Structure 1
Amino acid sequence: MKPSAATLGMGVSMTVGYGTLYYSFSILAPEIAREFGWSQSFVFAVFSIGLLGGAVSAPIIGRLIDRFGARPVLTFGSILAAAALAGLSMVQNGWQFAAVTLAAEFVSIAVQYDAGFAALAQRHGQEARSQITLVTLVAGFASTVFWPLIQWLLTMMTWREVYLVLAGLNLVLALPVHALWPSYRQPPVRPATNAAGAGRPPVVSRRPQLALMAISLSAGGFVLSAMGASLLVLLGDAGFTPAIATLAGSMIGPSQVAARIIEYARRGVLSPPVTGLIATGAIFLALALLFAAAIFPAVAIVLLFAVFFGIGQGLTSIIRGVLPLHYFGTAGYGRTMGTLSGIRMVLSAAAPFTIIFVNEKLGISAAVGCLLLMGAVGLAAMIALSRLAPLLSQETSTN
């Protein structure tokens, strides 16, 4: 399937969604803490609590997408995201900051991958895999674009004015894409039934697949969230210099993009479960290499870790969207994505604090060992999931 202008536009809007509501915080948080005299730990704790707001809103937004279609949810999401970012520019105390941050993360789900994937599934049905991959490929540059952009803006204006610019980007770039998104909604695909399972309620029949999917994606979310927040700290405590740690971190991005390009080019070759096995397997192997590097700090090992981790991270964003489509089809896709995201985001919010706490109390080996255990759980659940059949007939199942 050739890339459409609408899909490329969705990739741009997802870039804006992640760049303004997620990646911006790591750059602006020190500026906020400095102005108010707060500790950075307080500011990041507020952000972590805000992520839990996304866990609460994900199932709600998923149901709204199923009921009303993706276009109105995405459109109002852009407007509310802009309002929340503008609100951050006007906070005057800690309570206001906490309340507006929670609101911003609550609405962020409506302008990020979960809503975007649902929009693609409604429009393209079982053929949405290539479109989902393309969107993740474009939006994968969110940090690459927004980190230097925000740093550059801070040389000319205050953090409050930067938030106003970020609000404007949601209105100027993301809102038109969402407002013009086709309103077409595919009719739901009925799950296949057989003699043994005739009459069984869909919720019951899909429970094993949904549970294993939730376990694997949530374990992966824990690892990705923890590594995103604490990688440089962990590498430093493992004995690597800041230069080597930065080099390793910089290799993750290109590896992530390369994995997504290969997935887009070869999307018809491997089934979504096999792609899921590659993603979780790459993350597990990367964490095993990081554990080895914590014991024997060799540069080659940590660089190899970065490559495999980037591959796993790049493919994980894709399987979040294509696995529910593969196993359950388009019927109730928004609700399914919301349920999975809610569970995943609870663990993701707890991950940075948990790993830093373990690292401080028990040491680097224990912290990486905890991550390795979560990686093993994610891989084991994916192996079990790959052995289960999709709940669709052969005529409608995806490859």
Structure 2
Amino acid sequence: MNFAVGWRQVATIFFMLALASGIVFSSYGIISAPIGKEFHATHTMTMMGMGAILLFGVVMSPIIGGWMDRFPFQVLTTAAAVLLASGLFALSFVQTMWHVIAVYAVFMTIPISVCGPMGASVLIMRWFVKRRGLAMGIAIAGLSAGSFVFPVVVQQVIEVLDWRMALRILALFVALTMIPAGLFLIVSRPEDRGLHPDGASEPPPEQPSTRTKGKPVSIREVVGDLNFWLVAFSLGIPMSSGTGTTSNIVLFAGDLGIQAKIAALAMSTIAVSSASGKLMFAFVGDRFDIRLIQFTSMVLSTAGLLTLASAASVPGLFAGGALFSFGSGLLNPLWGVLIARTFDRAVVGKAMGLVMSIAMVLSVISPVLFAKLRDVTGSYATPFIFYGVAILLSTALLPKIKLRSA
């Protein structure tokens, strides 16, 4: 059976993740720097746009997850693309930093969720079962592709023109590419095209839903499941450590007396290593117990953090950063696969949104806690060790996670 349309979903999600994450997250510092300079903003104020996305994401993730269970994915991705294009266009007209924060909160939160790992996971799990790990690994690699391409492109456009015109060009690019992709390429489910997951001749065997058909999914129903808390913290703790590490790695390099150019090269190494981890998941995700893969990723992340804690020069920075980011990259595509295996299929979207909320709360705290521990002790070794130990301890949660049949 021709299953090209299934792999088209993977390619489209790869592109959407690269575009949304590459512009909103990876290019945030590049976009916010000239804006902050024009408005004479402090570093703290300049970073508040990113904080606004994370804080609004905590509230919106369960709601968006519920939408994914109820509405066609074409509608959600198209609406997200419209919001992203509108937000970039609105951002080009801001007159104060508070306008910037409001634009990021109102316009960027939904696109980064729908066209991010959460949305990708929900769509891929509908189209793939036996090859879900492969499909997820390829699709999530779009995050790394976006971090390669867009910061460089955005910086070049800003240098040639100015930041306002650069944002308008980005808005036009999103409108001309991402909106049509959502409208014409995304297909919510294989059944909409008379297909079955993986292109099989018959639907895959799966555990029937235990819920009453049409019954609304309540938050209490999801959070009352022990699996929810086991999954939320076993995924959220490593995710938050990644946020804290990447947001402080350049400052850590400065503490070691490493030049800014070398620190930037370290960031590129981290991106390459993270992409390698995602692609590795594509090869192993369908072959091994998902909890074993998660355990491996967490051990690698811990080893990377402890290497960074003992680093005193460039080799330690590169080795620790590469090891940590490979472990994080291996974990990124695992979200959707693990959640699909631990929750009733009728509540997966809501469960994923709530898990993401827990992870976002931990991620909002992490960069601040990293910096606070460094300021109190005078060294980044303390937060690296703290989070390394936290990840290692959270591996004890993995055997308690109950998996449903694939």
Q: Specify the SS of the correspondent of 1:372.
A: helix
User: After the TM superposition, which residues 211-290 of structure 1 pair with which residues of structure 2 at under 5 Å, given as runs?
Assistant: 211-242=229-260, 244-290=262-308
Question: Residues 245 and 301 from structure 1, CA distance in 2 versus in 1: closer, same or farther, beyond 3 angstroms?
Answer: same
Whether 1:325 aligns to 2:340 is: yes
Matched, 1:376 2:376: no
For 2:374, which of 359, 370, 377 is the aligned residue?
Answer: 359
When normalised by structure 1's length, the TM-score is 0.87
Q: Mark the runs of 5 or more structure 1 residues left unpaired by the alignment.
A: 194-201
Q: Distance in 2 between matches of 1:262 and 1:110?
A: 24
Give the Cα separation in 1 of the matches to 2:332 and 2:381: 22
Alpha-carbon distance in structure 2 between the residues aligned to 1:122 and 1:71: 14
Contact map agreement 1:117 1:132 (CA 8 A) in 2:
yes
Whole-angstrom CA distance in 1 between matches of 2:262 and 2:273: 17
Deviations 1:243-265 (A, max 9, x none): 55344333222222222222223
Q: Quick one: distance in 1 between partners of 2:100 and 2:244?
A: 24
* CA root-mean-square deviation: 2.7
Match of 1:54 among 22, 33, 57: 57
1:238 deviates by 3.4
**Partners of 1:169 and 1:379 in 2: how far apart?**
43
CA-CA distance at 1:322 after TM superposition:
1.4
Distance 1:21 1:204 in 2: 30
Deviation at 1:291, TM superposition (A): 1.2
**Which range is displaced more, 314-323 or 55-64?**
314-323
Letter in 2 for 1:356: A
Residue of structure 2 in register with 1:199 after alignment: none
Q: 1:388 and 1:100, CA in 2 relative to 1: closer, same or farther beyond 3 A?
A: closer
Distance in 2 of aligned mates of 1:241 and 1:251: 15
Shift of 1:168: 2.1
Distance (whole Å) between structure 2 residues aligned to residue 354 and residue 105 of structure 1: 25
Task: Provide the C-alpha distance between the structure 2 equivalents of 1:268 and 1:254, rounded to a whole number of angstroms.
Answer: 23
Unmatched segments (≥5 aa) in structure 2: 192-202, 212-219
1:59-208 mapped onto 2 (5 Å cutoff): 59-107=62-110, 108-125=112-129, 127-180=131-184, 181-184=186-189, 189-190=207-208, 203=221, 207-208=225-226
* Distance verdict in 2 for CA 1:255–1:41, change over 3 Å: same
Aligned pair count reads 381
Q: Structure 2 CA distance, aligned partners of 1:170 and 1:204?
A: 35
Find the residue that maps to 1:155 and give its secondary structure: helix
* Kept after mapping to 2: 8 A contact 1:54/1:105: no
Structure 1 residue 211: Cα displacement? 0.6
Question: Structure 1 residues 330-339 or 276-285, which shifts more?
Answer: 330-339
| Structure 1 CA distance for aligned equivalents of residues 394 and 209 of structure 2 | 23
SS of residue matched to 1:389? coil
Q: Calculate percent identity across the aligned residue pairs.
A: 21
Moved >6 Å (runs of 4+): 185-188
Match of 1:308 in 2: 323
Are the counterparts in 2 of residues 277 and 383 from structure 1 also a CA contact under 8 Å?
Answer: no
8 Å contact from structure 2 (residues 130, 286) kept in 1 = no
Residue in 2 aligned with 1:197?
none
How far did residue 191 of structure 1 move?
A: 6.0
Shift in CA distance, 133/206, structure 1 to aligned 2, threshold 3 Å: farther
TM-score (norm: length of structure 2): 0.86
Q: How has the CA–CA distance of structure 1 residues 191 and 240 changed in structure 2, closer, same or farther, with 3 Å as cutoff?
A: farther
- CA distances 1:52-85 after superposition (whole Å, capped 9, x unpaired): 1122111111001101132211111111121112
The match for 1:34 is 37
Decide whether aligned partners of structure 1 residues 83 and 299 sit closer, same or farther in structure 2, where only a CA change above 3 A counts: closer
**Conserved 8 A contact 1:189-1:331:** no
Given that 1:125 and 1:330 are in contact with CA atoms closer than 8 Å, whether structure 2 keeps it comes out as no
1:29-55 deviations in whole A, cap 9, x for unaligned? Answer: 110011112223211134213321122
